[in-house]
Structure 1
Amino acid sequence: MPLLNTSKDSWPVGLLFSGESQTSTVEHSQACATLLAIDEVNGAGGIDGVPLVPRHLPIGPRPDDYRSAAERLCDDHGVRVLFGTHMSNSRKAVLPVVESREALLFYPTLYEGFEFSHHCVYTGAAPNQNSVQLARHLLRHHGKRVFFIGNNYVFAHESNRIMRDLFEQAQGQVVDEVYLPFHAPDEAFATVMARIETLRPDVIYSTVVGSDTIRLQRAFAPTRSRADGAVIASLAMNEADLAQMNADLSEGCLAAAPWFATLQNPASQAFRAGMHRRFGPDIPLTSGAEAAYFQVHLFAQAARQARILSFDAVLAQLGQARFAAPEGDVWIDAATHHTWLWPRIGRVSAANAFEVIEEETAPVKPEPYMVKHSFGNDLISHV
């Protein structure tokens, strides 16, 4: 029976966040939120008196760098519980490691869905918890003609496939679909903008991530399309991106996420205060960080309830754990290993912050395989 704790006096847990990746800024926020939650768990007595001890190694920008770090954490540091990875290619690189070592990965980032691993718990949004809501909002309020632009990797291709299906259900049209390599030259973004100016879509759906997000906004800002009301909408744009630009570039952009830093409720305010107190007022607070925070608490609850600290026992208890997260009460769906979450739509205001303009009134069950994703008459009657 594989145990998730390999030490009697402490519980080593691994952090898989890179300071060199395309998405290093938001990964930094996720790492900080993980450490804050570990501090809180230990402050409440750890796991039956045993403290969680974070282990992390320098990780480079490539998926293989995450895989190598996961191997070393498991093999050299006795880690069997890992928190992290961000981009889908890094998650996919790590999954064979945790599966072969009977370890457990908690993944705190939205992703493209259509995946299940017995050794992974997904706490970011599945497509039915962000893509559906964003597509519905865009079709109701902005128009049916959409232009896709993304980085050339798995999340962008799969997310665009889902968004295309949703738009076409409502008789919408994808006018073009363009993929750029990471760190593409400025000339490539200029070429895409020229194409947008020619086609004049109502919406630009962006699956560009990390540092390229700022470059996309910079290229789009002076266009005639933006002046005439076209908007950029994204699942991946977050407060870490906003911190790297001003409202001249970002105002009007739309994003879908379970949590935004402007959300006002006691748990959200406490999370913000804790992050600022621990890491300073300039730490970006993102939805990925919020998921990184609450997943540690869900794990701790499950570990405390498990009679034996085995993989199977803790996993079984995860289906019973609940936590009052900054977004609202969250819990793991035992059948899919995904999380019930609170979808929201945010619009960037003149203050360069996400203003929540639409939100669900109850948490939404995860459907990672999009079994139930049809808009039906609810959307068509509003388009």
Structure 2
Amino acid sequence: MAGTALTACSKAEEKTATAAGGDAVKVGVLQSLSGTMAISEVTVKNASMLAIDEINAAGGVLGKQIEAVVEDGASDPAIFAQKATKLVESDKVATVFGGWTSASRKAMLPVFEKSKNLLWYPVQFEGNECSPNIMYSGAQPNQQALPAYDWAKSKGYKTFFLVGSDYVYPRTANLILAKHITADGLKVAGEEYQALGGTEFSGVIAKIKAAKPDLIFNTLNGDSNVAFFKQMAAAGMSPDKIPVMSFSIGEQEAKAMGPELVKGSYAAWNYFQTLENPENAKFIAAYKAKFGADAVMTDPMIHGYLDVYAWKAAVEKAGDFDPAKVRAAAVAMDPIPSPLGPVKFATNNSLTQTGYIGEADAAGQFKILWTSTAPIAPDPYDPVAFPGKTCVIG
């Protein structure tokens, strides 16, 4: 896949050499550099490394250069847990940036809660979790999945088919969507799952064809999306025939799959490369200069990048690398500039951010069709699916 070529970074870059004779602070960068999720996660690692390089070039953090210890989670939650343990216990890192699937995050959570260290998690997820040892910069359901549903409802879609990878994020996100669809008197026409990395969708596609939904909500992750969209097209069910709203396909995935496959389909994120602001233009230029002029940007990449800068700002506000002090400083900071625009962590460790819905074009970029009227405050527990549950960290 396209992600494989991106793993061929120099060993010197992976270790992020520190200034000669200067003190250093170690951080972990933990993403899938191999396996089914590499198509998505390699570029998040690259974005985090770009932020580290930029910060080091500007003088580092509290007078120290950042030394990144890069590890491969290999698309396996058990390996993510093993590598997180290594980073915290053996490498003695000050913090860790990484993870994509909720299965990987759930596997790492006990490591960070036991060690009292801090994980910066950059990807949208299903909510229903609230830990003092994770900074959740990716979207909560009320910042991605539910705005997408509300938009679809406003466009007149009434029947929905839910397709996802078989692990916690897709199942919980679809539970939330189904609760809202049912509460609104609309119809869930079907719900099907495929193992993460699975490539056989003939049975799922036959059920979609029989159900004739108005729209498919797609929570497949990784390169399963390639097989799904190819087989849908081969069955005469391309996005112009049955609209698809995806929550894990961005510009990188569209490029790797072939933009024609996803042309006309929809995606909901908190960032698209087509956003126009000075910080985004600066990031795009810097990333392309480092990783190639044909590189594309995605929402998780931006969150991986801004997480490093948010950690730096919080460390400097706290005057300390201690994870508890950094977390307290992070949720007390004023908004910080980013390619998303100014963003701020709420007291529940999640990011307040704007929601967007885009339509994929023939080049694999997204035309923005809808923007939330204001940044959306994060709510980890959807009140319809999980009534009475709240997130309090303190």
Q: From the superposition, tell whether residues 320 and 230 of structure 1 become closer, same or farther in structure 2 (CA, over 3 Å).
A: same
User: Counterpart in 2 of 1:86?
Assistant: 100
2:189 to 165, 168, 175: 175
- Are the counterparts in 2 of residues 294 and 323 from structure 1 also a CA contact under 8 Å? no
SS in 1 for 2:351: strand
Structure 2: which amino acid aligns with 1:304?
E
Q: Report whether the alignment pairs 1:62 with 2:97.
A: no
User: Counterpart in 2 of 1:379?
Assistant: none
- Are the counterparts in 2 of residues 151 and 207 from structure 1 also a CA contact under 8 Å? yes
Q: Output aligned runs, 1:158-307, within 5 Å.
A: 158-186=172-200, 189-226=201-238, 229-307=241-319
- Are the counterparts in 2 of residues 142 and 203 from structure 1 also a CA contact under 8 Å? no
- Are the counterparts in 2 of residues 88 and 155 from structure 1 also a CA contact under 8 Å? yes
Q: Report whether the alignment pairs 1:330 with 2:331.
A: no
Query: How far has the Cα of 1:226 moved from its partner?
Result: 4.1
Unaligned runs of 5+ in 2: 1-21, 387-394
Structure 2: which amino acid aligns with 1:218?
K
Query: How far has the Cα of 1:45 moved from its partner?
Result: 1.9
**How many angstroms apart in 2 are the aligned matches of 1:72 and 1:283?**
31
Unaligned runs of 5+ in 1: 1-7, 375-383
User: Counterpart in 1 of 2:171?
Assistant: 157
Query: How far has the Cα of 1:364 moved from its partner?
Result: 0.9
| Structure 1, 162-171 or 77-86: larger mean CA deviation | 162-171
**How many angstroms apart in 1 are the aligned matches of 2:123 and 2:56?**
24
1:24 to 31, 38, 43: 38
Q: Deviations over 1:66-125 (max 9, x none)?
A: 111111111221113000011011111111111111210000000000101111000000
- Are the counterparts in 2 of residues 21 and 60 from structure 1 also a CA contact under 8 Å? yes
**How many angstroms apart in 2 are the aligned matches of 1:228 and 1:293?**
34
Q: Output aligned runs, 1:65-76, within 5 Å.
A: 65-76=79-90
- Are the counterparts in 2 of residues 86 and 107 from structure 1 also a CA contact under 8 Å? yes
User: Counterpart in 1 of 2:391?
Assistant: none
- Are the counterparts in 1 of residues 100 and 121 from structure 2 also a CA contact under 8 Å? yes
**How many angstroms apart in 2 are the aligned matches of 1:115 and 1:94?**
13
Q: Quote the sequence identity (%).
A: 29
- Are the counterparts in 1 of residues 197 and 222 from structure 2 also a CA contact under 8 Å? no
1:50 to 64, 70, 76: 64
**How many angstroms apart in 1 are the aligned matches of 2:378 and 2:122?**
14
**How many angstroms apart in 1 are the aligned matches of 2:352 and 2:155?**
27
User: Counterpart in 1 of 2:133?
Assistant: 119
- Are the counterparts in 1 of residues 199 and 228 from structure 2 also a CA contact under 8 Å? no
Q: Deviations over 1:308-334 (max 9, x none)?
A: 432222111101333211111111102
Structure 2: which amino acid aligns with 1:54?
A
1:136 to 150, 158, 180: 150
Structure 1: which amino acid aligns with 2:325?
A
User: Counterpart in 1 of 2:392?
Assistant: none
**How many angstroms apart in 1 are the aligned matches of 2:239 and 2:153?**
20
Structure 2: which amino acid aligns with 1:133?
P
Give TM-score, length-normalised by structure 1.
0.91
Q: Deviations over 1:273-327 (max 9, x none)?
A: 1111111123331100000011111110110111343222211110133321111
SS in 1 for 2:154: helix
**How many angstroms apart in 2 are the aligned matches of 1:299 and 1:217?**
37
Query: How far has the Cα of 1:228 moved from its partner?
Result: 6.8
User: Counterpart in 2 of 1:3?
Assistant: none
**How many angstroms apart in 2 are the aligned matches of 1:235 and 1:151?**
12
Give TM-score, length-normalised by structure 2.
0.88
